[in-house]
Amino acid sequence: MAHEIFGSWRKGYAFALHTVDSIYLGVDQFGHDRFENTRSEMGELLYQLKYRGDQTAVAKMVGLLSGIQGIDTFDAIIPVPSSAQRAVQPVDAIATALGASRGVPVLTGFLTKNAGPELKNVDFPEERAALLKNAISISGTQNLVGKKVLLLDDLFRSGATLEACAKVLRDDAKVGDICVLTMTKTRSNR
């Protein structure tokens, strides 16, 4: 079930919640809170891809997205740049497979994130937005003036990264229309 996500884009959806249930287990020996999480199907596939390196998850994820209409109407799919270095960037892999399945060009590397802190452990949306200010830039050379783009990400949390990307696409690339699709979203926006 898709979940609408709001921001400075025309339309935005998260395909599924990341977790559907979470049980608090207590604090581990390092002082970290631990949870037993039950993930949605998309959430589990994303977890397997991102943290276990399971590349077979990509095709399954794109299969789950097959019911979404209108992706083929975009001029380009732009993956949100990752804040962590991995041998294979999950969002790039998903975007590439989705673009191939729908006949839409994918502009991996069009946006880049300047070196900075990992946002995963930053809880407050205002702090995330401040850390992202001027952190996203355009590296691609494609002309997107007036074009309709789909901004793709793996997980919607507070929306700060998507907002920063949308701002750069509007202000610097002069994109005409931005829609957002994420694979999952957290149950809270912190």
Domain range list for the chain: 3-21+33-185
pLDDT on residue 112: 92
Residue 160 confidence (pLDDT): 87
Question: pTM for the whole thing?
Answer: 0.87
Q: How many helices (H) and strands (E) does the chain have?
A: 5, 9
pLDDT computed for residue 46 by the predictor: 96
pLDDT at 85 (0 to 100): 77
Q: Rounded distance, CA 152 to CA 144, Å? A: 16
Low-confidence ranges of the chain (pLDDT < 50): 190
User: What pLDDT, on a 0 to 100 scale, did the predictor assign at position 10?
Assistant: 97
- How far apart CA 69 and CA 67 sit, in angstroms, is 6
Identify the CATH number of the domain defined by range 3-21+33-185: 3.40.50
CA angle in degrees (0–180, nearest 5) for 132-138-140 = 150
Task: Give residue 189's pLDDT.
Answer: 55
